[in-house]
Amino acid sequence: MLPLLARGPVNAFADIARRSRGGIVRLNLGPLRPYLVTHPDHVRHVMRDHWQNYLRMGKVWAPVERFLGTTFAGEGPDWEASRKAYQPMFTARHVTSLTSTLADVIAERVGLLDEPARAGRPIEATRTMADLVVAVNTVFFFGEKSSFAEGRRLAREFGTAVKWMNVRQIMPFVPDSVPLPGDRAFAGAVEAIDALVYPLIRKARQDDGHDVLSALCRARGTGQDADRLVRDDLVAALVAGTDTTTHALAWVWPLLQAHPRVAARLYEEIDHVVGTGPVRQEHLPELRYTKMVVQEVLRLYPSGWIMQRFPVAPGDIGGVPIDAGSPVFISPYATHRLDEFWDRPLEFDPERFSPGHEHRRHRYSYFPFGGGPHQCIGRHLFSVVALLTLATIVSRHHPQVRTPGPISPLPAALRPKQPIELHLVPVERRRARSARATG
């Protein structure tokens, strides 16, 4: 296992799952002997049917708790209270009602790309998508209470904290009393995050609003520890929703570049529905092919690619005995690549998601947003943001990727390993050029 993992754990897990045809595998990671569970029936067993025996706790989860607390990132009554507090802000209906605000934020960020496009200067895809997601999250979570610059600082500190949290997670056998490289950077990042977040919480308590932070403050009241609970809820959701969204959006561009026919159909749909923009709420249901493209991007690059669970009592999954206390890993990235459940699983083909096909699929053969009680609360927000982002960019530019492939995913929310250089060809110029070519 270790040499395989050294080459990259993301594809190592997927290769092992493919070789075992979705059978349960016990991985030998030295002192750690986790199970890799990828068959859709088994995934449903862990995530939905027997979820109370497979909890987010234990040594592998402890570093997460140190960063994000035990509310939204945990289990039990505190987690339930977080979910309840968040629910109304993340329903499809509420998110859709905010479409025009989100569309304005996205249009403003995409407008900044006109200048490099005119100058013929390339942009970097992951960084550009990251800025766009920061802008969206800042408005969605904080309304007018925060700024893009502050959101960017927060995102940078999240990056540092998550990086060093992951180091502790892959070495759960190292006691906390033994220092590891990165412990200080982790503590510094958490301190910086708290220094940004607590003043925002105080502001929200004085100046009520329709943003997520104000709703959290109302839901948690003002009792003892209320501010810490709001801080934990807020940071957990922001961390869960920032890099996942960013990296999923970044993968769109190399996939379109490698599949010109898909790109052409997407351009055509967006041109037909949105024209030169701006994108409006009523356009979204019309962007059917764009939605299929987004779903297929999330099949190949489900940025929440690995989930961990701790079996509290011994279990049995499909006849395989499971030891209590040995971590169970679930990976949509691996399940989405199983030949047993997908035709040509390694090929990018949005047609899989044409209407009607979902009935022919196992519910847990496609689960980029997880399932069961912990299913992602941000999935509707992601869908709206993804459609708005693609439609807004493509109505103005046809991005061309110049970075030679293949581009590989890193374990950190499947971040593309290489910078992705995008050349933005303004739509008008492209139309004029193809008219000249045909004329």
- Cβ closer to ligand HEM: 51 or 267? 51
Between 231 and 398, whose beta carbon lies closer to ligand HEM? 231
Among 69, 151, 315, 370, binds ligand HEM (CB under 6 A): 370
Q: Which of 369, 387, 395, 422 binds ligand HEM (CB under 6 A)?
A: 369
- Closest CB to ligand HEM among residues 46, 424: 46
Q: Which stretch binds ligand HEM (CB under 6 A): 200-208, 297-305, 314-322, 403-411?
A: 297-305
Number of residues in contact with ligand HEM under rule CB under 6 A? 22
Among 69, 122, 254, 302, binds ligand HEM (CB under 6 A): 302
Sign of CA dihedral 291, 421, 135, 195: positive
Q: Residue 84: how many CB atoms within 10 A of its CB?
A: 10
Of the candidates 193, 248, 250, 322, which one interacts with ligand HEM according to CB under 6 A? 248
What does the alpha-carbon distance between residue 254 and residue 416 come to, in Å, rounded to a whole number?
Answer: 10
**Segment 221-240, which members bind ligand HEM (CB under 6 A)?**
236-237, 240
Q: Which of these segments, 116-124, 184-192, 193-201, 376-384, binds ligand HEM (CB under 6 A)? A: 376-384
Alpha helices in 210-225 (DSSP H): 212-220
Print burial letters for 345-376: b (CB count within 10 Å at least 16), e (below 16): beebbbebbeeeeeeeeeebbbbbbbbbebeb
Tell the burial category of 156 from Cβ atoms under 10 Å away from its Cβ (0-12, 13-18, 19+).
middle
- Helices 379-396 and 226-258, interaxial angle, to 10°? 40
83 lies in the binding site for ligand HEM (CB under 6 A): yes
Query: Is residue 42 involved in binding ligand HEM (CB under 6 A)?
Result: no
Q: Which is nearer to ligand HEM, 256 or 377 (CB)?
A: 377
What is the closest distance, in whole angstroms, from the C-beta atom of residue 279 to ligand HEM in the complex? 19
Crossing angle for the helix pair 125-142 and 148-170, nearest 10 degrees?
Answer: 110
Pick the piece of the chain touching ligand HEM (CB under 6 A) from 108-116, 147-155, 244-252, 253-261: 244-252
Q: Are 267 and 385 in contact (CB under 8 A)?
A: no
Residue sitting closest to ligand HEM (CB): 378
Q: How far apart are CA 302 and CA 365, in angstroms?
A: 12
The nearest distance, CB 211 to ligand HEM, in angstroms, is 12
For residues 217 and 386, which CB has a smaller minimum distance to ligand HEM in the complex? 386
Burial 289-303 (b: 16+ CB within 10 A, else e): bbbbbbbbbbbbbbb
- Least Å distance, CB 2 to ligand HEM, is 25
Min. distance of Cβ 385 from ligand HEM in angstroms?
A: 7
- Give the residue with the Cβ less far from ligand HEM, 287 or 381: 381
| Range in contact with ligand HEM (rule: CB under 6 A) among 21-29, 38-46, 57-65, 298-306 | 298-306
Per-position DSSP letters for 49-93, written without gaps between them: ITGGGEES-STTTHHHHHHHTTSTTS-HHHHHHHHHHHHHHHSHH
Q: Nearest distance from residue 87's CB to ligand HEM, in Å?
A: 10
Interface with ligand HEM (CB under 6 A), residue from 13, 54, 61, 72: 72
Residue 304 within binding range of ligand HEM, rule CB under 6 A: yes
Report the DSSP pairing between strands 25-26 and 315-317. Answer: unpaired
How many whole angstroms separate alpha carbon 83 and alpha carbon 371?
A: 14
Determine contact, residues 73/232, Cβ cutoff 8 Å.
yes
**3-state SS string for 125-166:** HHHHHHHHHHHHHHHHHHCCCCCHHHHHHHHHHHHHHHHHHH
**Residue 368 binds to ligand HEM (criterion: CB under 6 A):** yes
3-class DSSP assignment, residue 322:
strand
| Interface residue list for ligand HEM (CB under 6 A) | 72, 83, 236-237, 240-241, 244-245, 248, 302-304, 307, 368-370, 374, 376-378, 381-382
